[in-house]
Structure 1
Amino acid sequence: MSRGLVDRPARTSEFHTPQRQQIWPGDRDRLLCLDWSVEADEIRQHVPMPAARSAKAAHVQAAIVADAIMSARREPLRRISYSRRKGWWTESSRYRGREFTYDTVVPAVDALLHAGILVDHDLQPAGRATGIQSSYRPAAWLAGISTPRLWRKPGELIRLKDSAGSLVSYQDTERTHRERKLVEKVNRLIADTEISLNAPDAHFDGDVIRFGEHSVYPDMLSLYRVFNGGWTLGGRFYGGWWQSVKSKDRQHFTLDGQCTAEVDYEQLHPRLLYALAGKHLDGDAYTLPGWDRKLCKIAFNVLLNASGYHQAHGALLPYLDGCEVSARDLIHDIKARHPKVAGYFHSGVGLRLQNVDSEMCRFVLADMSVKKGIVVLPVHDSFIVPETAKDELVATMKKAFERATAHIGDN
């Protein structure tokens, strides 16, 4: 067995079987998703839809409502953003079907708001690119309706966002063609695999799996990559329904009837940050005298992702009962614990590190899924495989990490 690899390791191990939830909260608005494959007549059977001027308009309304239903079930308080700037719809046209344009989506949103299907509208200026889009929430009652049959189409597999989080167009290159083909191959293998979840808390309701107030949608089988602000930032793989299953339930996955194993990188971003600085991380990155370790872990990742001190300070306040002094002291103590990398904190380096870990993920998928035909379900810094492939996964992850840290300063 490789050094530092055990099922229940000490905190300094390289890998471990995860027992934790994602710590960087998804508190930002999410973009309106128009990838759901729906039938307008079926949506009407469940939702009192407003009148539409044409079959195309009815289809657009149905797609927006389908997205709202999904959001009401999964993240009822999270806002859904969309643009009212005509140029945006032209600039990002590669990401949706031809029927979804400024002239169809904006009137559809307005009609659905008037009908009370969408609520709490935050209307932003439409005449210029402010970086802040208009947004709304799904009506709460959408979470309780009978669920129509919904599934998500793959859409564009290589996606580029600007610094404000909006999808932008790009010219295809040899690299984007290559990356798209790799994701297509991985998706075909996943589609041909029977993925089952036998978690004790899972309740199966048609095409939805519910865990209390949390729901997941097993029809979401297609991965795609998202780059954030450039081709060297972000790049993580998203889209798989298993990524929305909490860590305590993921141990109950089976793949083609086989039990699975999940292995993740221990303290991945702290270790990558130290590698970027040409240094070595000693001890546990998240242990600070006088502070709760879980809170320190949250704060460390806030400091990696924030683009300025005030943004980092503000992001920590909800975790500290709004105490500004405590937020200031926690930032100070983390920097004191990590003086070798303190200069990277609240610099936005997190997206650069995400690009490194996304390339590590790409290496694992290319080597195991594309080359060897072993299905791998990625969950950002961890991977789920058939239990019989665990040792091979560990070896591949180790190789990916070594390659990444050897070249992390090249970009």
Structure 2
Amino acid sequence: MENQLITLDDFEEYFVEEQRDYILGFNYNVSESLTERLGLPKDKHGALLSIIAELLVAHEQGKAVSYSRRKVFYCGLKRYCGGGYTYARVLKWVSWLEEAGYIYNRIAPPRPPHEGERGTQSTMRATPKLLEACRGLLLTAVRRECLCLNGPDRKKLDYNETEETIAMRREVEEINSHLRDVQFDVRLDGVGKTERHICIPHRSSRTNEPMQLYIPHLEPSIRRVFCRASFDCGGRLFGPWQNIPKRQRQFMTINGELTVEPDYPSLHARLAYALSGCPLRINDDPYDVGGGFDREQGKYALLISFNARNERSAVYSIAAKLSLTYADAANLYQQVVVHNWPINQFLSKDKGVVLQKIDSDIAIKVMQACQRDGIPVLPVHDSFIVPQRAESLTREHMDRAWSWAVDHSPY
């Protein structure tokens, strides 16, 4: 679409804050002793226990569990959610739980989703009867597919294995094997902790209302998420700690140690300049575009331009993001183009996801180097949370990973 609205998180997963409900995904299991305690029917696929486990996890967060009642929703998700995650099994066990008095079930009215959007899902909540019956039971996290491929609507897609996917999965699994020994926390007044979650007071970015962020902290792991149905697009690393707001991340600890978060400033802009053969000098600022626009406006306009498919789409999105008239947005866009003329090959040509693939390759290299040196590290796209004692060595690894990426890029 020529006027498609481009946003800065178009190619990333939604943050926890944006999820009003817990999305059923069979990411947890509950002890099989529950089968005898509740007199549960036989379920060789474990779908019923997974549903109950996620009802308990959602209850801890004060959320309902959302699930789909559309057959097409479940197509291709076996890779990500296991063999029990099917339309027939989910609806069968939801119905059984409701009839047994273990859930409150709200069935959403049928409404097909618009193109590029998800339809309204049904929701369920654990009743006091289920919560009492499950008191004291052990929940365990299930390690599923760590190499994810999303389509244009963010729906996860199945894919054929290749030498490339096998190699990338092996990289992520090796990183996750080290992350299992990492324990992170947030040492700040008002931050609580449950068995499974760090609970952070927060204000919604959409409504400004007070809320709680629930960050899973047991056995941290990452997933590498590609988009546009292509392993050449995206590929960033995602972990639950990334939903901790930046102002709270400065109070994080790793294995009891205070942390720092070295980053790559203006990463995509600097990457584009380096790949164009015109590396930015120390005092160069790609966001300070002039023309009466402030640096923050220049920053958003440039980042949107990396992701836009054409000039018209970029201007339309800049106007929406910065609440400008179309004429002012067009003027700002021209300032961006003129100020950053050496990287015009990256502007309004849908290169944002390509730059994400390169920055994700950099993150993999940094993680591998830190772990070889025994540095516990948690990635946040273009930054890395590490103990204070390891800041200098981490920056050295970041510099080497940067040089490797620039030298090995196809540009």
Residue 185 of structure 1 and its aligned partner are, at CA, apart by 2.5
The CA deviation string for residues 273-302 of structure 1, in whole angstroms up to 9 with x for no partner, is 122333333511112332232233222222
Percent identity, aligned pairs only? Answer: 25
Residue 132 of structure 1 and its aligned partner are, at CA, apart by 4.5
The CA deviation string for residues 66-116 of structure 1, in whole angstroms up to 9 with x for no partner, is 68668876xx9xx97969354x63433211121111323467789999x98
Task: Please state if 1:265 is matched with 2:241.
Answer: no
Q: Do the aligned partners of 1:38 and 1:66 also contact (CA within 8 Å) in 2?
A: no
Residue 24 of structure 1 and its aligned partner are, at CA, apart by 4.4
Q: Give the direction of change, closer, same or farther, for the CA distance of 1:111–1:167 in structure 2 (3 Å limit).
A: farther
Consecutive unaligned residues of structure 1, counting only runs of 5 or more, are: 1-21, 44-51
Q: What is the aligned partner in structure 2 of residue 359 from structure 1?
A: 361
Q: Distance in 1 between matches of 2:56 and 2:313?
A: 34
Q: What is the aligned partner in structure 2 of residue 231 from structure 1?
A: 231
One-letter code aligned to 1:230: S
Q: Do the aligned partners of 1:120 and 1:136 also contact (CA within 8 Å) in 2?
A: yes
Q: Give the direction of change, closer, same or farther, for the CA distance of 1:112–1:399 in structure 2 (3 Å limit).
A: farther
TM-score (norm. length: structure 2): 0.73
Q: What is the aligned partner in structure 2 of residue 16 from structure 1?
A: none
Residue 373 of structure 1 and its aligned partner are, at CA, apart by 2.8
Q: Do the aligned partners of 1:161 and 1:227 also contact (CA within 8 Å) in 2?
A: yes
Q: Distance in 2 between matches of 1:54 and 1:135?
A: 31
The CA deviation string for residues 89-146 of structure 1, in whole angstroms up to 9 with x for no partner, is 3433211121111323467789999x98668767327xxx96554244869999xx99
One-letter code aligned to 1:96: C
Q: What is the aligned partner in structure 1 of residue 208 from structure 2?
A: none
Q: What is the aligned partner in structure 1 of residue 252 from structure 2?
A: 253
Q: Give the direction of change, closer, same or farther, for the CA distance of 1:395–1:82 in structure 2 (3 Å limit).
A: farther
Moved more, 178-187 or 395-404: 178-187
Q: Give the direction of change, closer, same or farther, for the CA distance of 1:194–1:68 in structure 2 (3 Å limit).
A: closer
One-letter code aligned to 1:183: V
Q: Give the direction of change, closer, same or farther, for the CA distance of 1:32–1:347 in structure 2 (3 Å limit).
A: farther
Q: Give the direction of change, closer, same or farther, for the CA distance of 1:320–1:253 in structure 2 (3 Å limit).
A: closer
| Bigger Rg, structure 1 or 2 | 2
One-letter code aligned to 1:37: Y
Q: What is the aligned partner in structure 2 of residue 18 from structure 1?
A: none
Task: Please state if 1:84 is matched with 2:70.
Answer: yes
5 Å-filtered alignment, 1:324-335, equals 324-335=326-337
Q: Do the aligned partners of 2:24 and 2:51 also contact (CA within 8 Å) in 1?
A: no
Q: Distance in 1 between matches of 2:33 and 2:312?
A: 48
One-letter code aligned to 2:231: W
TM-score (norm. length: structure 1): 0.73
Moved more, 54-63 or 394-403: 54-63
Residue 352 of structure 1 and its aligned partner are, at CA, apart by 0.5
Task: Please state if 1:134 is matched with 2:119.
Answer: yes
Q: Between Structure 1 and Structure 2, how many residues are aligned?
A: 368
Q: What is the aligned partner in structure 1 of residue 180 from structure 2?
A: 191
5 Å-filtered alignment, 1:300-379, equals 300-321=302-323, 323-369=325-371, 371-379=372-380
Q: Distance in 2 between matches of 1:256 and 1:139?
A: 36
Q: Distance in 1 between matches of 2:41 and 2:309?
A: 45
Q: Distance in 2 between matches of 1:122 and 1:287?
A: 49
Q: Give the direction of change, closer, same or farther, for the CA distance of 1:103–1:214 in structure 2 (3 Å limit).
A: same
Residue 175 of structure 1 and its aligned partner are, at CA, apart by 3.2
One-letter code aligned to 1:260: T
Residue 207 of structure 1 and its aligned partner are, at CA, apart by 3.3
Q: Give the direction of change, closer, same or farther, for the CA distance of 1:54–1:400 in structure 2 (3 Å limit).
A: same
